[in-house]
Amino acid sequence: MPIKAIASSFTGWSYRLKHWVEEKANHAHSRWWLAFISFIESSFFPIPPDFLMIPLAVLQPKKSYMFAFISTVFSVLGGVAGYFIGLWAYDLIGIYIMEFIGWIAGKPGDVMLETARNYFLEYGVWAVIIAGFTPIPYKVFTIAAGFFGMALPAFVFASVIGRAGRFYLVATFIYFIGPKIKSFIDNYFDKILLAGTALLILGFAALKLL
């Protein structure tokens, strides 16, 4: 695909994402949207809750930790749902989620599952912590953790550490700096969202390199 076509597609997707984020951030039930997105992102949804949590926190910096709490709790609960999909319903549901994620990442679903297994064998719960904290799609490791029979308490512990570490780090930054950078974010929201989208794509690309 020509570079101009890729750039145009990327920009168009970011533009649609911008309007989606603005709509949800200004919704009367924005907290429930954050909870819902945090939950489904942990098992199949491609857009991470950060895209909604950050605008909400910037709009209300003093509630940053509350938004981080919502994101953490529902993301971990969604991770547990992904765990049980891998444990009990991989052939029915999980395999199609892995194929979908693999289609985005450019890597077959069964290869990603085997890659996750190798990381579990080498790093144990740290594999879940790293996936929960970094842009690497956490959902791959939630489903794989159930499929390969990781102990549920260990999985939940690792998920809480990874997800809370990520969301509370962002919340802390916005809590103290948010009021000062609000005008900057308002002026450069498009570019910031574009950078976030690029980071999301890099997270999926990292799956191909693992």
Q: Which two structure tokens, joined as six digits, stand for 136?
A: 């690497």
pLDDT at residue 52 in the model: 86
pLDDT at residue 1 in the model: 42
pLDDT at residue 23 in the model: 73
pLDDT at residue 199 in the model: 65
Measured in degrees and rounded to the nearest 5, phi and psi for residue 44 equal -155, -25
Please enumerate in sequence order all residues whose Cβ is within 8 A of that of 82, keeping only pairs 6 or more positions apart, or say none.
42, 43, 44, 139, 142, 143, 145, 146
pLDDT at residue 74 in the model: 98
pLDDT tens for the 210 residues of the chain, in order? 444 444 455 455 556 766 666 677 666 688 999 999 999 999 998 888 998 898 888 888 889 999 999 999 999 999 999 999 999 999 999 999 999 888 877 888 888 899 899 999 999 999 999 999 988 889 999 999 999 999 999 999 999 999 999 999 999 998 988 766 666 666 666 666 666 566 666 665 665 656
Sequence ranges of the domains in the chain: 3-209
Give CA–CA dist 142/126, Å, rounded: 13
Straight-line distance from the first to the last Cα atom of the chain, in angstroms, rounded to the nearest whole number = 24
- CA 137 remoteness from chain centre: 6
Contact 45, 37 (CB under 8 A): yes
pLDDT at residue 170 in the model: 92
Amino acid 94 reads: G
Q: Which residues of 188-205 are buried (b: 16+ CB within 10 A; e: fewer)?
A: eeeebbbebbeebeebbb
Amino acid 188 reads: Y
Q: What is the pLDDT of residues 36-68, one digit of tens each?
A: 999 999 999 888 899 889 888 888 888 999 999
